[in-house]
Structure 1
Amino acid sequence: MIRAVVFDVGETLLDDTREWRAWAEWIGVPLHTLSALVGAVTAQGRDNADALRLIRPDLDVAAERRAREAAGCGEQIADQDLYPDVRPALAELRAMGVWVGVAGNQTARAADLLRALDLPVDAVATSGEWGVAKPDPRFFARLIDWAPGAPSEILYVGDHRDNDAVPAKASGLRTALIRRGPWGYLWAEDPVTVQAADWRIDRLTELPELIKSE
């Protein structure tokens, strides 16, 4: 039985288009150039921040984030960035009595912005707050302590094979991979994903029925 569902953030709950556009403007390249580089590093199994470093090899991403904040161009998360199925899916899961959490590789500021959206969730946390990021097993150990239930009663939902499905499964969690965003589409049919993901879904609104069928 699934007692808790925890969601990744980028390209699971949030459409990252606005954030990548902000980065493209900040480093002075067209959005389509940066998007193509994100696709390239994704296909190579590299961190998406490497797309920024291909343009500026000496880029310190954390320092640039601070500079963007100081310049008034910092991270933004608003309702317009949520995929349309997010609120209905989260609300239905809570109505079923499932504990709902959000935990992904984001900054502490992103956690505050997510909380300000007043999503129908029980808790929000980010790697910036926990001091450890996916795919480090310590991230998932922290998640297991944070969410109610045994590991086998917690479902982790994300779009990334190597950051979400594989390490979550290795930690004893149930897993679902959503086919959206570059990573979700690229790896949905990958044999590693097929083995690691209990479910592969196209919409978050599929989850309530899948959980009920358990």
Structure 2
Amino acid sequence: MAAACAVRLEAQRELFTLREDAAPALTALRATGLRVGVLSDCTVELAESWPSLPLSGLVDAAVLSCEAGRRKPDPELFRLIAQRLGVAPQECLYIGDGGGRELTGASACGMRAFMLRAEDWWDDDAHSREDDWPGPYLSSLREVLDLALGVPAAE
């Protein structure tokens, strides 16, 4: 059983790849003094790997569903990430691909939600994705800095 778990963990780690624009975008956001959080529906493999991932050093707070015992769009997850960031949900920008009905969940909690609809969006088959999201969207993570600084996003 231990060997099988080790194989699964290693296989899952191979899936933990960052978008090309992720690190530069997060670094630029943090340079402005903004706090960055991650809210992820995930398995225990991500939670176990989180401290060693390059992304972990670029975020101030993380809420992982497998540790919280809840899944998006549970409002408690959105409140929890805001709390860990030390802000009210209404002060948060939420960026996601729409999986797990996260954009609707974030909006319902008072966050400003934006769909990340990058070039590879159609290639991704996220669980319960909000393909019909009527709200604003971004085409890359590079646009998050402009958004955070008050430059409007596409509708």
- TM-score normalized by the length of structure 1: 0.58
> Partners in 1 of 2:4 and 2:18 — Cα distance?
22
> Partners in 1 of 2:60 and 2:19 — Cα distance?
19
Report 1:16-35 matches (<5 A): none
Report 1:19-168 matches (<5 A): 69-70=4-5, 72-74=7-9, 75-77=11-13, 81-119=17-55, 120-160=58-98, 163-168=101-106
**Contact 1:137/1:167 (8 A) holds in 2:** yes
Deviations 1:11-67 (CA, angstroms, capped at 9, x unpaired): xxxxxxxxxxxxxxxxxxxxxxxxxxxxxxxxxxxxxxxxxxxxxxxxxxxxxxx89
Instruction: Quickly say closer, same or farther: Cα 1:170–1:91, change in 2 above 3 A.
Output: same
> Partners in 2 of 1:166 and 1:68 — Cα distance?
40
1:208 aligns with 2:145: yes
What stretches of structure 1 move > 3 A for 4+ residues in a row?
Answer: 66-69
Paired residue type of 1:165: L
Name the Cα RMSD after superposition.
2.7
Structure 2 segments unaligned to the other structure (5+ residues): none
Paired residue type of 1:110: L
Paired residue type of 2:138: I
3-state DSSP class of the match of 1:176?
strand
> Partners in 1 of 2:37 and 2:150 — Cα distance?
21
How much has 1:71 moved relative to structure 2? 6.1
Q: Using the aligned pairs only, state the percent identity.
A: 33
Instruction: Quickly say closer, same or farther: Cα 1:100–1:70, change in 2 above 3 A.
Output: same
> Partners in 2 of 1:201 and 1:97 — Cα distance?
21
Instruction: Quickly say closer, same or farther: Cα 1:141–1:162, change in 2 above 3 A.
Output: same
Number of the residue aligned with 1:45: none
3-state DSSP class of the match of 1:204?
coil
Deviations 1:125-171 (CA, angstroms, capped at 9, x unpaired): 30011111111222223223222212111111111165211011001
Structure 1 segments unaligned to the other structure (5+ residues): 1-65
Between Structure 1 and Structure 2, whose CA radius of gyration is higher? 1
> Partners in 2 of 1:138 and 1:101 — Cα distance?
15
